[in-house]
Structure 1
Amino acid sequence: MNDSPSTTRHLTRPEGRLAYEVAGEGPLVVCLPGMGELRSSYRFTVPALVAAGFRVATLDLRGHGESDATFGRYDDVAAGGDALALVEELGGPAVLVGSSMSAGAAVWAAAERPAAVAGLALVGPFVRNPPMNPLLALAFRAAMSGPWAPAVWGGYLPSLYPGRKPEDFAEHRRLIRESMRRPGHARAFSRTTRTSHAPAEARLAEVGAPTLVVMGTADPDFKDAAAEAAWVADRLHAETLLVTGSGHYPHTEYPEQVNPRLVGFCRRVTAGA
């Protein structure tokens, strides 16, 4: 029997609970959203994967969405451990789809427990700390360190969609703002923004899982998005999909380009599972 995608489940972890949904039947795909995002960031991805015969789980990060904000850590390693715990809960192995920060978490998980990860799809991936002017780094830290951080993020979010915003963008941004008003969530978000991706970069050479790197060529989070995609792909021996004109969330801006490639990738790496 298919699980309703509208039914929230909870994964119990040592310091709190994480909210997730499951839809479909078949080989498992676990979708991890980026920092400041919700599991509904995959709202255009899940239907395509389910229609292709996959069982798809979407997870809210710690201190995001309907997940608790009671944890001591909000970094790549913690998110990677949560992903592995969900794969174990649902029965893997799984393809891990990681957006932004969660790409680093997915890389760490694949290195930590290779048998649990059938493949990686990394979207707008942060798998290393990008070079940043020290003054800009200090300004970013200040902007994301106080009670004003959710408002700053809400104002910054539209710039991450330089191509084509989805029709429901305003509603999606409203839901993100509501999430950050939950007790402890604004503080958890601020702590998440301090994440270092050094632990992910240190384990790139340990990853043997087939990998797809998806990058928007106009992603404002990278000085040269295409070059960053090439760098990640080189180290992971990955295939790449560059989405012309897209920003940090190509799977949301241009799902008609990303979904077919993602579905094909998932079919290849789960064949015979």
Structure 2
Amino acid sequence: MPWYEGFGGERLWYREQGEGPALVLVHGWCMSSAVWRFQFDQLSAGGFRVIAPDLRGHGDSPQGSAGCRREVFVADVAALFRHIDLRGALLAGWSLGTQVAIGAVPLLRERLAGVALICGTPCFTSRVDFPHGLAPVEAEGMALKVRRNLKRALEGFCARMFAPGELDASGRADEIRALVAGVSAPETEVALQSLAALAAADVRPELAAIDRPTLVISGELDPICPSAASAYMAQRLSACRPVVYAGCGHAPFMTRCDEFNAQLADFSREVHGRV
């Protein structure tokens, strides 16, 4: 297994497969690198070097002593780039991983060819001047469910990721259910810390620092990070290509994986100046 030293020198795990231009994929809340299975399978076979860390406390990465805060996740991802000496990479984040990727851009600017923000939001909870997030009471309710029974809370969260009929329409329903069910749950404290970090973050001021070509992907029917939040980000990025997956919820990279992978591959080739 490949390990690297993250923030504070603590050991973290990542997965790597394939050769070619690097695609670094950062997972979301209470998930792990395992969610990117379809990307590892297809993109590594298509001439790309696919790399995905397990954020601390998730998957095979221990929690460590630094806590599961966004700034620590950001520092960990930057440390991974330095450890592998990645240059000219495409950094992609999903959901919570979107906020991590946004924070990492200033630290990695010279190492990045582009950025992909997948079903993310600059503010998970709504504000007076940002109506595109979830109501604060919803985040509080999620935390309460996690405290009561983490397993049931995650089952409910994962079921909510998909729009009605989306799994059946994908033609991969059983495969996707097995993939999601196979993701190891973090400890309850990790789930609560990372949820608190997600709910408190407001990364809108950081969008102006993204000066690399950016692909912003959203699901039309995403109930977790509404597509309006992705549209908000796209409007404020200087070199942005927005893509909305009709009929999709929070994880089009699973239910529309063939189309998603082709989109990501084409964008990577474009930002690398390849035909």
Q: Under a length normalisation based on structure 2, what TM-score does the superposition of the two structures give?
A: 0.86
In 2: Cα distance, 1:124 partner to 1:103 partner: 8
In 1: Cα distance, 2:13 partner to 2:235 partner: 34
Q: Which deviates more, 123-132 or 55-64?
A: 123-132
For 2:141, which of 139, 142, 167 is the aligned residue?
139
Shift of 1:168: 2.1
Matches within 5 A, 1:205-220: 205-220=208-223
In 2: Cα distance, 1:108 partner to 1:265 partner: 21
For 2:10, which of 9, 13, 16 is the aligned residue?
16
Shift of 1:194: 0.6
Instruction: Tell whether the 8 Å contact from 1:80 to 1:108 is kept in structure 2 after alignment.
Output: yes
For 2:250, which of 248, 251, 255 is the aligned residue?
248
In 2: Cα distance, 1:169 partner to 1:134 partner: 30
Shift of 1:199: 5.5
Q: Work out the number of aligned pairs and report it.
A: 257
Shift of 1:156: 2.2
Letter in 1 for 2:206: R
Q: Which deviates more, 196-205 or 233-242?
A: 196-205
For 2:178, which of 171, 175, 190 is the aligned residue?
171
Shift of 1:80: 1.7
Shift of 1:149: 2.6
Give structure 2 stretches of 5+ with no counterpart. Answer: 127-133
In 2: Cα distance, 1:136 partner to 1:159 partner: 13
Give the secondary-structure state (helix, strand or coil) at the position aligned to 2:72. Answer: helix
- 2:157 is aligned to 156
- 2:129 is aligned to none
Deviations 1:99-148 (A, max 9, x none): 0011111111112331122211111013223314343343233223x262
In 1: Cα distance, 2:152 partner to 2:65 partner: 23
Letter in 1 for 2:121: F
Letter in 2 for 1:108: G
- 1:5 is aligned to none
Give structure 1 stretches of 5+ with no counterpart. Answer: 1-7
Shift of 1:188: 1.0
Note if 1:122 corresponds to 2:125: no
- 1:3 is aligned to none
Amino-acid identity (%): 25
In 2: Cα distance, 1:47 partner to 1:35 partner: 22
- 1:78 is aligned to 72
In 2: Cα distance, 1:135 partner to 1:50 partner: 41
Q: Under a length normalisation based on structure 1, what TM-score does the superposition of the two structures give?
A: 0.86
In 1: Cα distance, 2:271 partner to 2:73 partner: 23
Note if 1:55 corresponds to 2:56: no
Instruction: Tell whether the 8 Å contact from 1:76 to 1:102 is kept in structure 2 after alignment.
Output: no
- 2:91 is aligned to 96
Structure 1 residues 16 and 175: alpha-carbon distance in aligned structure 2, compared to 1, 3 A threshold: farther
